[in-house]
Amino acid sequence: MLVTLRQIVQEVSTATHLDDALDIIVRRVKDALPIDACAVYLTDVESNHYVLMAADGFNPASIGGVRIDRQEGLLGLVGERHELITVPDAAAHPRYHPSSATGEERYHSFLGVPLIHYHQVLGVLVAWKRAPGQFDKDELTFFVTIAAQLAKAIHDAAAVDEVSRMLSGEVQGDAFIQGIQMAAGVAIGTAALLDPLASLESIPDRPTQDIDAEETSFRSAVAAVHEELRASSERLAADLPGEVRALFDVYAMLLGSDGLVSDALARIRAGNWAPGAWRETIADHAKVFEQMEDPYLRVGAEDIRAIGQRVLVQLQAEAKESRQYPQQCILVGDTVSITEIAAVPVKQLAGIVCMRGSALSHTAVMARALGIPAVVSLAPLPIGRLDGCEMVIDGDQGRLYIEPSHAVRAAFRRLIGEAQARSERLMALRDLPAVTPDGFRLPLYANIGLVSDTVAARDSGAEGVGLYRTEYHFLLREAFPLEDEQYQIYREVLEAFTPRPVTLRTLDAGGDKILPYFPVVEDNPFLGCRGIRFSLDHPEIFLIQLRAMLRANAGLNNLQVLFPMISRVGELDEALGLLARAYRELLEEGRAANKLRVGVMIEVPSAVFLATALAERVDFLSVGTNDLTQYLLAVDRNNAQVTTPYDSLHPAVLNAIHQVIKGAHLRGKPVSVCGELAGDPAGALLLLGMGVDALSMSPASLARVKLVIRSFTLQRARSLLDEALGMEDGFAIHRLLNGAIEEN
C-alpha cells in the first residue's frame, strides 16, 4: 500500500496541469482499490458548489458540467462534517441526491472524504461500488491517507494552472495568488529570479535572439560534459569497483542518446534559449521514468536529472553577461537571503516574493527595514516562467498578481500614491517626541544592519540605534572581518549618531543566518550553535569583535553592547569575562578604549525566568520578540505552514514580556523591546501599557508607532493591557487593539 501511495502522489506532483493531476488521481485510485468508480469534485467558492472535475466510471460527458450545491447530497455531508463518510446503501440515505448526468445511480456503496488544505475544503474525493455493502478497513485506510496527501498536490497544481492562465492572458479581472504577508506595502515591478542558472527547476524561459549561437553553446556544453565524464572515469578507475564506474557509462549513454540532445535542439530552434530548452527536455524525459511501475527503472529519473545538472553547469560557465536588474525589481526565489537582497541596488528593489518563509524570518525583517513589500506564496509557483513578468505585490493582503490587467495596475498605482501621501503626512511627526497626551515620554530607536542604513534611521526621527545587527557585515563578506575593519564600521555608526546611543549586538550567526565561509551543519540550527553560543565557542573571533567595539567607543561614549541568545547565567558571566579581558588587553597595548553599557537579549524561555538574575549583572535588558515567540510557541518562524500559530500577541508571549519588565524593574534596570512587535502599532500600545522603557524598530515603522504613542494616554494603554491579559486568544487581542486604534 505504501509503495502505491507514494507512486500516486509522485505522479500527481509532477503533473504539469490540474486536469492532468485529477485524471491521474481517479485512474490510479480506481486501479488500486476494488471499486467501480472514482471521482474528484472541487469547490467553487464563488458559486458555493462542488464541480465534478475528473471521474473514472462516470459518464465522461458529465465531467466539468455537473455542479452540486455544497449543502446538498452526500457530498455536502462530507464537506459539512470534514471527515470520511461511508454509506453501505446510498439510495437508502436521506441525503442521497444522485445526478442523472453522471450515471452514478447504478452504484450503491458510497465512500467520500474531504480534501482539506490550510483548513479549507478544496473538494471531495469519492469512491463507489456497484454492490451494497461496507468498505473494509484497508480500503478506508488507503482512501483517508491518499486524500490527506493529495490535497496539497491539488492545491499546488491549481495554483500553477492559475499562474499559467495569468501568463497567457486567459484570466480576466483581478485574479491573484494568495500568500502570506512578510512586509506591508504595495509595489509594481518586473520579476527577476535570484539566480536563474542555479538549478534546473529555477531556469526561466527566455526567447533567444540568436538561435545559431544558442545551439553552438549547447553543443559545446554537451561535449564538455562528455569529456568530463570520460576523464573522471579514467581518473577513478583504480579506486572504484566496476559497478560504480558503470555509472559514468550510464551518464555518457544518456547524453549520447538522440532523444535528449535532439529534443533540446528542437526546442532551441523553436525559439527558447539553451538553458530553458534543456530544462523542458530533462523534465519531460525524467517524467517518463517516474511513471514506470518498476522501482529500479524509476531510478532512471534521478540519472536524467543528474546529467541535466552537469550540462547546466557547463552552460552557466559559458554565460558571460553580468547580472542586470530591472529598474523596478521584484526579487523572486524559493528563499531570498539578506545577502541576495543586498545585491540589488536599493533604489531598484521594489518587492520580494518567496516560496518559503514567514513574517518573522530575517528576510522579512530586512524587507521591512528597507520599506520593501514582501509576500510568501502559499503554493509553488512555476518560477522558470516568471523571469521578466510584470507583477503586483500586495504586502498588506499577502497577494501576488502576475501579468495584472490594466485595471489592477491602475488601482495599485492609486494605492501607491495614497501610501506616499500618507508617509509624507507621517513625516511631519519626525522631529516631535513620542509623548503620550498625559506626558509620558517613550524613546523610539531604529533597528539597522548596515552603515548605509544610518541615513534612513536619522531621517525617520529615531533617537538612536536600539539594535545594530553586526552579523550583516559578516554575512556579506567572504571571510571573517578583522579588528581594524570592524572598528571602522562601528566607529562610523557611532559618529553618525553621537551623542545619541547606539546598541551593537554581537555576532548573531546561526539559525537561518549561515556564514558562507564558516558553515555549521546541524539537524536543527535554530536550537544549535547560534548567537552567544557560537561566539563563546570561538573566543578568537569574539575577542576581535569586542576589541573593535571598545576601540570604536573611545571618546564618544555612546555605545551599548548587546549579547544575543543568552539562556544561562553562566553564558553571560563568560561573555562579560571576555569583554573585561578585551578591555584590559587594549589598555596594556596603549590603545584608546572606553568601557560601555552592557545588555542582554531576552529571546529564549529560560531567559524570561532568569530576567531578575540577568538584570543584576548588566545595565539593561532588550526583548527580542521574534525568537521569543518562536521558542515559546514551538513554531518555526520560517515555515509558512505554521504561520497562523506564530503570533507575537499570543497571551503567553505577552505575559512573558510583562514578567521580564517587572523583574528587571525590581532591580532598577530598564527594558527595551527590539523585536518586530515594537514596530507594530498594536504591539507598541501594549508595551507602552506594560511600562517598557524604550522601543526599537525598522525606520519605516517609526512614524506609525509614534502616531499611536502620541494618540493614547498612558492610563488608556494600561487599561487596554489589563483587558488583553485577561484574554485567552491572540486573535481577540488583535481585534481589541486594532479596534481601539481605529476608533482613536
The tens digit of pLDDT for each residue in 79-122 reads: 999 999 999 999 999 999 988 899 999 999 999 999 988 778 99
Specify which of 333-337, 435-439, 698-702 reaches the highest per-range mean pLDDT: 435-439
Distance CA(570)–CA(567), nearest Å, equals 9
SS3 409: helix
383 or 285, greater pLDDT: 285
Residue found by looking up cell 501610501 in the block: 419
650 or 366, greater pLDDT: 650
- Residue 343 inside a domain? The answer is yes
Written as one string, the DSSP assignment of 8-24 is HHHHHHT-SSHHHHHHH
Can you give the pTM of this predicted structure?
A: 0.69
Q: Is the pLDDT of residue 67 over 80?
A: yes
- Residue 189 inside a domain? The answer is yes
Q: Which residues does 493 contact at the CB level (< 8 Å), separation at least 6?
A: 448, 451, 454, 465, 468, 502, 504
With contact defined as beta carbons under 8 Å apart, do 620 and 670 qualify?
Answer: yes
- Residue 725 inside a domain? The answer is yes
With contact defined as beta carbons under 8 Å apart, do 734 and 649 qualify?
Answer: yes
Q: Say what the pLDDT of residue 646 is.
A: 45
Query: Do 480 and 454 lie in a common domain?
Result: yes
Q: Please say which residue of 381, 405, 424 terminates a domain.
A: 424
Q: What is the mean pLDDT of residues 667-673?
A: 97
pLDDT tens, position by position, 398-411: 889 988 888 899 99
Query: 328 to each of 174, 183, 349, 351, 455, how far by Cα in Å?
Result: 21, 17, 6, 8, 22
Q: Which residues does 698 contact at the CB level (< 8 Å), separation at least 6?
A: 365, 368, 369, 371, 446, 447, 679
Q: Which of 362, 473, 650, 658 is catalytic?
A: 362
Query: Do 653 and 520 lie in a common domain?
Result: yes
Residue 82 known to be catalytic: no
Q: Which of 329, 354, 389, 674 is catalytic?
A: 674
Q: Which residues does 213 contact at the CB level (< 8 Å), separation at least 6?
A: none
Query: Do 64 and 163 lie in a common domain?
Result: yes
Among the listed ranges 198-212, 310-324, 628-642, which one has the minimum average pLDDT value?
310-324
Query: Do 624 and 675 lie in a common domain?
Result: yes
Q: Is the pLDDT of residue 645 over 50?
A: no
Minimal CA–CA distance to 121: which of 74, 87, 81?
81
Q: Say what the pLDDT of residue 552 is.
A: 96
Q: Is the pLDDT of residue 257 over 60?
A: yes
Residue 332, phi-psi category: left (phi > 0), alpha (psi -120 to 50), beta (remainder): beta
β-sheet with 109-117: strand ranges across: 67-69, 49-56, 37-44, 120-129, 109-117, 85-87
* H or E element that contains 572: helix 569-588
- Residue 237 inside a domain? The answer is yes
Q: Please say which residue of 404, 424, 444 terminates a domain.
A: 424
Q: Which residues does 13 contact at the CB level (< 8 Å), separation at least 6?
A: 153, 156
Query: Do 437 and 548 lie in a common domain?
Result: yes
Q: What are the phi and psi torsion angles at 299 (to 5°)? A: -60, -20
Q: What is the mean pLDDT of residues 56-73?
A: 93
- Residue 517 inside a domain? The answer is yes
With contact defined as beta carbons under 8 Å apart, do 110 and 90 qualify?
Answer: yes
Among the listed ranges 280-289, 354-363, 467-476, 680-689, which one has the minimum average pLDDT value?
354-363
- Residue 173 inside a domain? The answer is no
Widest Cα–Cα separation across the chain: 96
Query: Do 271 and 344 lie in a common domain?
Result: no
Query: Do 653 and 524 lie in a common domain?
Result: yes
With contact defined as beta carbons under 8 Å apart, do 724 and 736 qualify?
Answer: yes
Query: Do 297 and 382 lie in a common domain?
Result: no
* H or E element that contains 177: strand 177-183
Quote the number of domains for the chain.
Answer: 4
Label residue 323 by pLDDT band (50, 70, 90). low
The sign of the dihedral angle between the CA atoms of 146, 149, 152, 153 is negative
- Residue 667 inside a domain? The answer is yes
CATH of residue 644: 3.20.20.60
Residue 674 known to be catalytic: yes
Question: Whole-angstrom distance between the N-terminal and C-terminal Cα of the chain?
Answer: 60
- Please give, one letter per residue, the 3-state secondary structure of 579-633: HHHHHHHHHHCCCCCCCCEEEEEECCHHHHHCHHHHHHHCCEEEECHHHHHHHHH
CATH of residue 310: 1.10.274.10
Q: Please say which residue of 318, 346, 370 terminates a domain.
A: 318
Query: Do 400 and 506 lie in a common domain?
Result: no
- A 10 A CB-CB count for 416 gives 16
CATH of residue 393: 3.50.30.10
Q: Say what the pLDDT of residue 658 is.
A: 97
Query: Do 548 and 674 lie in a common domain?
Result: yes
Q: Say what the pLDDT of residue 237 is.
A: 59
Label residue 171 by pLDDT band (50, 70, 90). low
With contact defined as beta carbons under 8 Å apart, do 315 and 221 qualify?
Answer: yes
Is the backbone peptide bond immediately before 499 cis, with ω within 30 degrees of 0? Answer: yes
Q: Which residues does 511 contact at the CB level (< 8 Å), separation at least 6?
A: 525, 526, 530
Query: Do 295 and 337 lie in a common domain?
Result: no
CATH of residue 90: 3.30.450.40
Which structural domain, as residue segments, surrounds residue 394?
183-193+325-424
Query: Do 143 and 256 lie in a common domain?
Result: no
Distance CA(23)–CA(414), nearest Å, equals 43
pLDDT tens, position by position, 714-727: 999 999 999 999 99
Distance CA(154)–CA(24), nearest Å, equals 11
- Residue 175 inside a domain? The answer is no
Minimal CA–CA distance to 552: which of 499, 500, 593?
593
